[in-house]
Amino acid sequence: MRVVLASASPARLSVLRAAGLDPVVEVADVDEDALLAAMPQASAAEKVTTLAGAKATTVARRIAAAHPDAVVIGCDSMLHIDGALVGKPRDPDTARKRWAAMAGRSGELVTGHTVLRMAEGDIDRVAEGHAVTVVRFAEPSEPELAAYLSTGEPLAVAGAFTLDGLGGWFVEGIDGDPSNVIGISLPLTRRLLAGVGVTVTDLWAVPGGAGANSAD
């Protein structure tokens, strides 16, 4: 059974590959701003799950002919802080303001997940959910923050930080699932796959998974 990741995120792809999957990547290209504008009163979980569903559904329809019996996984992540959801800052000034608000504090990284099971080109079964991980941020010095912003990394990721990249230096700790902070919760995805009748171990491209637990 072919797994299709409805996301351009290299971090999500890396997580799935390290966990034994070899997904096809298809970028959804949905109008996220328009979707969010249409649901101003929705909760953070509802918003990110709606976006994940839109991405997965868009991709499922596109790949129906090429992969009629695939499993499509869609995700969307945002940081919930001060009662507001924030996504990708896209420019250095916005990222700097985000870090001014986050430094020395905690926020919730909320990721919506949608898993669609295809059958003969049609969407047959759907499972959705969201995961929340608390992130405790450090207080980078001004030179550290300037150097981080200059890399461009925080401009293209939810909340203007990463856990698995350069931003990991400025995260004091997390409470919850680390893979969720990277962009896709493995525990939740496993449960959602089960919800559409798929056992995750049957999807492993490498028996036993691709990663290793080593502390040499």
Catalytic positions are 76
Q: For residues 137, 140, 145 and 148, what is the CA-based torsion angle, rounded to 10 degrees? A: -60
C-alpha–C-alpha distance, residues 71 and 174, integer Å: 30
Helices within the chain (DSSP H only): 10-18, 32-37, 44-62, 92-102, 142-151, 178-182, 186-195
Beta pairing partners, 111? 77, 131
C-alpha–C-alpha distance, residues 10 and 25, integer Å: 10
